[in-house]
A = this chain, B = another copy of it.
Amino acid sequence: MTTKIKYTFKDFQSDQEVRWCPGCDDYVILRSLQKALPLMNRPKEKFVFVSGIGCSSRFPYYMDNYGIHGIHGRAAAIATGVRLANPDLSVFVITGDGDSLAIGGNHFIHALRRDINLNIILFNNEIYGLTKGQFSPTSKIGQKTKTSPYGNTQPPFNPGELAIGADARFFARVAGNDAKGQTEIYVQAHAFKGTALVEVLQNCVIFNDGAYKFWTDKNVRDEHTLFVEHGKPMIFGKNRDKGLILDGLQLKTVTIGQNGITEDDILVHDAHNPDPVLHMMLVRLKNPLVLGVIRAVEEKTLEEREIELTEQVKARSRIKSFDDIVS
Chain A positions within 8 Å of B, measured between CB atoms, are 103-106, 109-110, 113-115, 137, 141, 150-151, 153-158, 161-167, 246, 249-250, 275-278, 280-281, 299, 302, 305-306, 309, 312-313
Name the one of B115, B155, B280 contacting A115, with C-beta atoms under 8 angstroms: B155
Q: A105-B110, A150-B309 given; name 14 further pairs at CB < 8 Å.
A: A105-B105, A109-B109, A113-B137, A114-B155, A115-B155, A153-B302, A154-B302, A155-B302, A161-B167, A165-B165, A165-B166, A246-B249, A276-B280, A277-B281
Contacts of A302 in B (CB 8 A): 153-155
Question: Given the known A-B contacts A105-B110, A277-B281, are A167 and B155 also in contact in the complex, defined by CB atoms under 8 Å?
Answer: yes
Say how many copies of this protein the assembly contains: 2
A313: chain B residues at CB < 8 Å are 150
Question: How far is the CB of A319 from the nearest CB of chain B, in Å?
Answer: 13
Measured CB to CB, the closest approach of chain B to A72, in angstroms, equals 13
Q: Which of B151, B276, B309 is close to A151, meaning CB atoms less than 8 Å apart?
A: B309
- Give every chain B residue within 8 A of A250 (Cβ-Cβ): 275
Question: Bound state CA distance, A137 and B111, in angstroms?
Answer: 11
For the complex, give the distance between the alpha carbons of A141 and B300 in Å. Answer: 12
Question: Could you tell me the distance between the alpha carbons of A69 and B150 in the complex, rounded to whole angstroms?
Answer: 35
Distance in angstroms between the alpha carbons of A158 and B113 in the assembled complex:
10
**Cβ-defined partner of A157 (8 Å) among B137, B167, B281:** B167
